[in-house]
Amino acid sequence: MNSYHENKKHDDLNNVISEDVLKILNERVCTLYHFRDHYFENHDLNDSINRNRDIEVELQETLALFTKYKDCIENSVRAKYYYLRGRALNVVPRYSKEAEDLLSKAIKLDPKLVEAWNELGECYWKNDNLKEATNCFNKALLYEKNKISLRNLSMLARQNSASNQEERQKNIETGLNYAKDAVQLDPHDGLSWAILANAHLSSFFGVTQNPKTLKQCLSAYTQAEKDIVAKTTPDLHYNKGITLKYEEEFKLALESFNNASLYDPVWEPPKIKKKQLLKYLNDINELVSTSGKMKAKKLTQLLQSIDSKQLGPYSGGSYTSSSGQTVKLEETCINDLKAGINEEKVVLGKVVCSVHCEDAVPFTFCLVDRLGTCVAVTVYNFAEGKGVIIGDSVAIPEPYITDVNFEYSDKVRIGKLLLIMFLCLIKLKGEYKFRLIRVETPLVLVVNSKKLTRDKQAGVQMSIFKKFD
């Protein structure tokens, strides 16, 4: 009898010791993640190049603590020990087989450990096993509705392959609903707001082309940036830059791509996007100012060939829409258009050139009116290979005008030796000044006197940042 009581007392003491050790390890893992997520609260942006190295150092110190206390863990709390060590290993973006094994052991010992299911889902995702990752997040939701599972499922739903447009739209809508639920659970979590913004962006291009959706994107990114953790993630600024680019807020888009690079100097996509956008803007600048570099004689011939008859269904002072509504339209020259939407106006001109865009979206060309005024035109949702060509006459009803006028100074680092000696910054200033007409769908255009048909329209595929890419 005495032996039984002594053994029970010993077991109780071991359990107390195990719980104390778990508390120490849990606090250390929380400290590790706080160090990663709040790095820029205690470090200058110039230290961003060292961030991953510093996190790695913290990780190794954390793992050493787990090794130190390994023999103090009793079976009753071993599931949480495996979970905590697996979570620690998950602090870096690379896949860890050890983390996967530890987290798998954790859920076998305690299938209701929601945090372990979420971490295991992260592991599978890093290893490009999206099916198992989805299963893990869904499993976690069975035991507890939580924002981490919801926002991860939002991303995964939108990344699911689809065999047709209907299935693709369903995936996007599912992802949007998951993101909304995550924000509703915790309206102060900036990461959830960022995922919601990305979901809206996918919805804009994959479900409905409502310009208000882009406003919802930017509003959600603004909410996300109120959270220091979300604000210092490079992918938020990258995705926001993409949104701003399609909003044609070019200067802000460049600044967002630059911010993404500041928070992660070795991540290439923001640098590539910024470089592509600068080239695109430089090309528009030059082509608008030179009327597409067209020779004077040919340009004169084009201008002389512009005839109001080319307005087609938009001629005669009014137009009857597909809904039977009569819309008044007055032919107007480009210089007489105001910034914003020009109701009851129609502009007619000739295509003098197209402008190359790496994303192929929007389709961009330059148009001259009968007075020789040149303007850039961006058309969204043109089907591949269905754009206009040089010499085509194009009529645009109720054109939406943006007057692009800004300067942008890019900073370029030169030379590897400067890392040792000094940093030399050269400011490359670009001045961008041109008029732009934005067209949401090609179906409103009249090309060579004829209204474009639905076979000219196609959905747009977005290059939103993919987690663990």
| Percentage of the residues of the chain whose pLDDT score is greater than 70 | 88
Q: Please tell me the predicted confidence (pLDDT) of residue 429.
A: 62
Average pLDDT over every residue of 24-49: 95
What is the tens place of the pLDDT at every residue in 411-458?
A: 544 444 444 444 444 445 689 999 999 998 899 999 999 998 887 776
CA–CA separation, 456 vs 185, rounded Å?
42
Every domain of the chain and the residues it spans: 2-282, 294-456
Q: Please tell me the predicted confidence (pLDDT) of residue 11.
A: 44
Q: Please tell me the predicted confidence (pLDDT) of residue 8.
A: 40
Q: Which residue has the higher pLDDT, 463 or 165?
A: 165
Q: Which residue has the higher pLDDT, 130 or 324?
A: 130
Q: Please tell me the predicted confidence (pLDDT) of residue 469.
A: 36
What is the tens place of the pLDDT at every residue in 88-106?
A: 999 999 999 999 999 999 9
Q: Please tell me the predicted confidence (pLDDT) of residue 209.
A: 58
pLDDT of 320 higher than 80: no
Task: Specify the CATH architecture of the domain 294-456.
Answer: Beta Barrel (2.40)
Flag whether the pTM goes above 0.95.
no
Is the bond into 234 cis (omega within 30 degrees of 0)?
Answer: no
pLDDT of 212 higher than 50: yes
CA torsion 137-140-142-143 (nearest 10°) is -170
Q: Please tell me the predicted confidence (pLDDT) of residue 411.
A: 57
* CB neighbours of residue 462 within 10 Å: 17
What is the tens place of the pLDDT at every residue in 52-98?
A: 999 999 999 999 999 999 888 888 889 999 999 999 999 999 999 99
Q: Please tell me the predicted confidence (pLDDT) of residue 18.
A: 75
Q: Please tell me the predicted confidence (pLDDT) of residue 458.
A: 66
Phi then psi for residue 367, to 5 deg, are -125, 135
pLDDT of 467 higher than 60: no
Do 382 and 456 touch, CB atoms closer than 8 A?
yes
Average pLDDT over every residue of 232-259: 95
Average pLDDT over every residue of 341-356: 96
What is the tens place of the pLDDT at every residue in 105-119?
A: 999 999 999 999 999
Enumerate the β-bridge partners of residue 340.
Answer: 401
pLDDT of 192 higher than 70: yes
Phi then psi for residue 354, to 5 deg, are -110, 160
Taking CA 444 as the corner, what is the angle to CA 437 and CA 394, rounded to the nearest 5 degrees? 60
pLDDT of 319 higher than 60: yes
pLDDT band at 187 (very low <50, low <70, confident <90, very high): very high
Q: Please tell me the predicted confidence (pLDDT) of residue 206.
A: 76
DSSP alpha helix (H) spans, 160-207: 165-185, 190-206
> Mean of the per-residue pLDDT values for the chain?
88
pLDDT of 16 higher than 80: no
- Same fold flag, 2-282 and 294-456: no
- 3-state DSSP assignment of residue 360: coil
pLDDT band at 358 (very low <50, low <70, confident <90, very high): confident
Tokens of 259: 């911010």
Provide the sign of the torsion angle of the four alpha carbons 149, 155, 156, 158, taken in this order: positive
Q: Please tell me the predicted confidence (pLDDT) of residue 459.
A: 54
Average pLDDT over every residue of 6-32: 71
Q: Which CATH class is domain 2-282?
A: mainly alpha
